[in-house]
Amino acid sequence: MNWKLGFAATAIACVVLPFLVPQYSLTILIEALIFGLFAMSLDLMVGYCRLYSFGHAAAYGLGAYSTALILIHLQLPLPIGILLAVVVTVAFAVPIAWICTRSTGVSFAMLTLAFAQLGYAMLFRFRDTLGGSDGLVGIPQPAGPFGMTWFQDKIGYYYLVLGCLLGSYLLCRSIVRSPFGAVLAGIRENEAKTIALGYNTRSYKIATVVLSYAFGGLAGALYAGFAGFASPELFFWLTSGRVLIMVVVGGAGTLIGPIIGGVFFVYLEHQLSQVTDLWPLIFGSIFIAFVMFAPEGIWGILVNRFKARPQAPNAAGGKEATDAAA
């Protein structure tokens, strides 16, 4: 009951929010949702398959730069451009996943990082096409298909992002609960045993990385379409680090936790950066505190709080009974 109420309230809040907040806050809100989607995509690898990617910026950057190039040069309608960018990201993800999954643990993290940094370096190597340190600016939001223009204003774009986030979440949720997801749980718990049961775990890991890149690419594409520019920092390792922190603080292996983590950190960053230059320090402190004291993350804390509640009346009742007996 509590759960349903909570979800209903969240859903209504998400729908009416753009009409209640000022334009400036709406910008942050959209960025927060995009980062929530980005963090959720990484959770597929980190939380469900124990594949610690330290290069997820590659997915974000690929999505953003593909969108930028498609929209600037081909003038395709924005939603189609975004979809195509996801396809491009997947095309890059397949060989990356194939190579990275040859190793595990720290070497996997280093390989993913290497690919992201390779992408970063390419931006400067092919300065004419990719813009170098200036990035790509002036990304249009072409109308269509069927003459649609509703996403060209901020409120419309908010709903576009919200829809993508919700759709991606539902898709990811059904994936982790599918037979495929059960195999991922096996890989996370004991990969050697999963292989001995007859699963070719490597191909499951490749599929997970590719799926994760697809959703991460979608996040990057939405960002480029919204911000109107794509800059090299999207590919930079700091982006990979930030999103990994969001996953851990939000609660890895829950999908919804990393969404909350992403939204939480984007907001916090905006608020803190207005007050002090030391905000990365606070960022880091929060991360350390969560790792040490609440490894289950924000969502884990919330779930425990809700789970504990039904037991509370019993405990109280028991106490009263004892008191009465005394």
The DSSP element (H or E) to which 22 belongs, if any, is none
| SS3 (DSSP) at 136 | strand
Round to whole Å and give the CA distance between 79 and 62.
Answer: 16
Number of residues forming the site for another protein (CB under 8 A)? 24
| Sign of the four-CA dihedral 237, 238, 242, 243 | negative
Segment near another protein (CB under 8 A); pick from 121-129, 130-138, 174-182, 286-294: 174-182
CA–CA–CA angle 275, 278, 284 (5° rounding): 120
**Residue from the set 122, 175, 268, 282 that interacts with another protein by CB under 8 A:** 175
- How many alpha carbons fall within 13 Å on the CB side of residue 30? 24
Name which of residues 184 to 203 contact another protein (CB under 8 A): 185-186, 189-190, 192-201
Q: How far is the CB of 283 from another protein (least distance, A)?
A: 30
Residue among 9, 74, 182, 321 that touches another protein (CB under 8 A): 182
Near another protein by CB under 8 A, which window of 73-81, 82-90, 99-107, 181-189?
Answer: 181-189
Contact with another protein (CB under 8 A) among 22, 138, 147, 179: 179
Contact string (CB under 8 A) for another protein, positions 247-286, x = contact: ----------------------------------------
Residue 183 binds another protein (CB under 8 A): yes
Residue 235 is a binding residue for another protein (CB under 8 A): no
Phi, psi of 136 (to 5 degrees): -110, 120
The label of the residue with tokens 């593909």 reads 66
* CB nearer to another protein: pick between 68 and 183: 183
Q: Of 10, 174, 271, 304, which one interacts with another protein (CB under 8 A)? A: 174
What does R_g of the chain's alpha carbons equal in angstroms? 21
Nearer to another protein, 138 or 198 (CB): 198
Q: Tell whether omega for the bond before 140 is within 30 degrees of 0, i.e. cis.
A: no
Side-chain half-sphere exposure of 29, counting CA atoms within 13 A: 23
Q: 228, 139 in Cβ contact below 8 A?
A: yes
Helix (H, G, I), strand (E, B) or coil at 52: coil
In the bound state with another protein, the residue whose beta carbon lies nearer, of 196 and 325, is 196
CA distance 66 to 70: 6
Q: Is 308 in the site for another protein (CB under 8 A)?
A: no
In whole angstroms, how close is the CB of 7 to another protein at the nearest point?
Answer: 23
Other C-beta atoms within 10 Å of 171: how many? 12
Least gap, CB of 197 to another protein (angstroms):
4
Nearer to another protein, 192 or 312 (CB): 192
Q: Residues in the site for another protein, rule: CB under 8 A?
A: 174-175, 178-183, 185-186, 189-190, 192-201, 204, 207
